[in-house]
Structure 1
Amino acid sequence: MARATVQDVARTAGVSVGTVSRVLNGSPAVSAASKEKVTGAIRELNYRPLASARDLRRDRTMRILALARNLNSPVISEAFRGFGDAAAQAGYVSLIAPTSGDLEREQQLVDMLRNGSVDGAILFSPAMADAEVEALAQQLSVVQVCEIVDSEAAFGVSIDDRQAAFDITRHLIETGGRRLAMIGNRLARSGRLREEGFRAAAAQAGVSPRHLLFAEGEFDFHAGRRLAKELLQLDPLPDAVFCGSDTVAAGCVREIADAGLRVPEDIAVAGFDDSIQAEMCVPELTTIRQPAYEMGRVAFEALFARMTEPGEHRRGRTFLPHELVVRGSTKG
């Protein structure tokens, strides 16, 4: 029988991993009821930490490094919040470090993990190559969130970007879209997966490849306006546009309106992420909702296991469920 892990204790007790950690560390910030649940689960599962909680704390910095290219993405910001909240509940401090995609800067920060200045690292869209992430994760405590490289050693949590894009493209087709366009970003792994989903949904519906358009740019408002302007020069016009983010979709909607056209009557527009921009846009955006906060929380639990029980860490990836949110920017 496999040895019980801290996650098993948390599930059995019906509490968070952070609460289990606080009980193991002797923290007074735990209610008597929660402590009783945890200690009962420990006895029931015969849970045995690899070292005493006191020794674990003494041997650790209680700091975690969080790396991201930037903090502009609403999804990454919300995932950071989920990760940071879970880390704080377990007594850890999160050191957030934007890298702007600078590989040298990223390597300097990762050296903090190699030399023991931090106990673990969470990676959002790293600039390093897949093989480097794999090698790092084989030796040290690392997890990935949102943008996940192909690595068996490094656990990652995200949504299924390909399936999510398939779902929203199918919605555009089912509500009358026949000349489909996508505004995406092939530099991002998620962007490439979303393009795959877009094309797969179109193929399944029998939409001719000659009726598919693709415009590429950054995931920002100005790129959305610029690329939408390019699409509006075409004859015939697209009748539905899938954008790789809500921010891009907001720019697209603005450009369509400035051209004297209506959304969705003339051109339907869909976004991705269900960020605040989706509800601020007029009309409000149909989009894909990502459970960003939960992704951050799940990532911390996996990282906590790697830091405290090296032989029990999770590998591969976990997809959390996404949701198609239909609003006024599409028909139906």
Structure 2
Amino acid sequence: MARATVQDVARTAGVSVGTVSRVLNGSPAVSASSREKVTAAVRELNYRPLASARDLRRDRTMRVLALAKNLNSPVISEAFRGVSDAAALSGYVSLIAPTAGDPEREQQLVDMLRNGSVDGLVMFSPTMPDEEIADMAAQQSVVQVCEIADADAAFGVAIDDRQAAVDMTRHLIRTGARCLAMIGNRAARSGRLREEGFRQAAAEAGLPPEQILFFEGDFDFRTGRVQATDLLKADPLPDAVFCGSDTVAAGCVRAITDAGLRVPNDIAVAGFDDSVQAEMCVPELTTIRQPAYEMGRLAFEALFARMTTPGPHRTGRMFLPHQLVIRDSTNS
């Protein structure tokens, strides 16, 4: 029988994961009713925390730090929530800091691990070279989420971005698209993998290179709007546009509709992430769903093992399954 998780306790008790965490950590900021429900659920499920915080406090800060290029990404926000909930369950406080893609700022924050200001480090979008990440992971408590360096000694949790892009591109081709465009981000590891998957699927379908367009940008709304304005100058127009994020796709849809064209009748648009923007967009976006919360939770469990037990520890990549979510922005 599988070991009960904090999510199981929360579901059985009918409360949030945060409430369960506060009860388990003895916080007074919980109502008597909620405390009784959580206690009953813990007994019913025979739930046991991963470790006792009292056993860990000696010579530890009980803090972990997460680094991200920025805090605007819905995926990073959800993954960090998974890290934070799992950390709280083991008595840890989780902090997050943006690096703005600045290597010097990143090094300053990494030094918090090196000088003992935090016990562990979660890296979402590192700028440092793969070799440096590998060296650091071989000596200290470091894990990665979403953006995974090619570093043998490091461990990271993500989806298979290349295969996810293959799946999306194949869907667009199945709907009848023959001239394809992508708005991607080569500055990001995941962006480069998604471009590889896009080109792989197009080549497998036998589409000629002149019918494959690529536009470079970031993962933001402005990129989608500006780059879509440029791709609308192409002759012929693309049948479908694959965007590197839902936020980019929302900007793309805006530019297409501002030009008097219809999505998907004139141009289909697909996103990536299945963020809240995917359902807020009109029409709702076809996209790739990432299990971001679970990625964060599993990353902290791996980090916890590194922080509390001697090695060897797991290295390499853990790929969680993604899901193609088909909505109105592409022809079914």
The question of a shared fold, defined as TM-score above 0.5 by the shorter chain, is answered with yes
CA distance in 2, matches of 1:27, 1:267: 53
Per the alignment, residue 7 of structure 1 pairs with none
Matches within 5 A, 1:150-299: 150-299=150-299
Matches within 5 A, 1:1-332: 13-15=3-5, 31=39, 34=42, 37=46, 54=54, 56-332=56-332
Per the alignment, residue 6 of structure 1 pairs with none
CA distance in 2, matches of 1:138, 1:316: 12
Contact 1:15–1:34 (Cα < 8 Å) also in 2 = no
Measured on the aligned residues, the alpha-carbon RMSD in Å equals 2.4
What is the count of residue pairs matched by the alignment?
308
**What letter is aligned with 1:193?**
L
Note the C-alpha offset of 1:188: 0.6
Cα 1:38/1:219, change in 2 over 3 Å: closer
CA distance in 1, matches of 2:215, 2:276: 24
Contact 1:246–1:287 (Cα < 8 Å) also in 2 = yes
**What letter is aligned with 2:238?**
P
Mark the runs of 5 or more structure 1 residues left unpaired by the alignment: 1-10, 43-48
Note the C-alpha offset of 1:55: 5.0
CA distance in 2, matches of 1:312, 1:32: 37
| CA displacement 1:229-263 (0-9 Å, x = unmatched) | 11111111111100000111111111111111111
| CA displacement 1:129-165 (0-9 Å, x = unmatched) | 1111111101100000001101121110000000000
**What letter is aligned with 1:289?**
R
TM-score by length of 1: 0.87
Note the C-alpha offset of 1:15: 3.4
**What letter is aligned with 1:248?**
V
**What letter is aligned with 2:5?**
V
CA distance in 2, matches of 1:195, 1:313: 32
Note the C-alpha offset of 1:27: 6.1
CA distance in 2, matches of 1:180, 1:291: 27
TM-score by length of 2: 0.87
CA distance in 1, matches of 2:236, 2:25: 66
Q: Percent identity?
A: 73
**What letter is aligned with 2:306?**
R
Contact 1:305–1:312 (Cα < 8 Å) also in 2 = no
Note the C-alpha offset of 1:14: 2.9
Note the C-alpha offset of 1:115: 1.3
Note the C-alpha offset of 1:38: 6.1
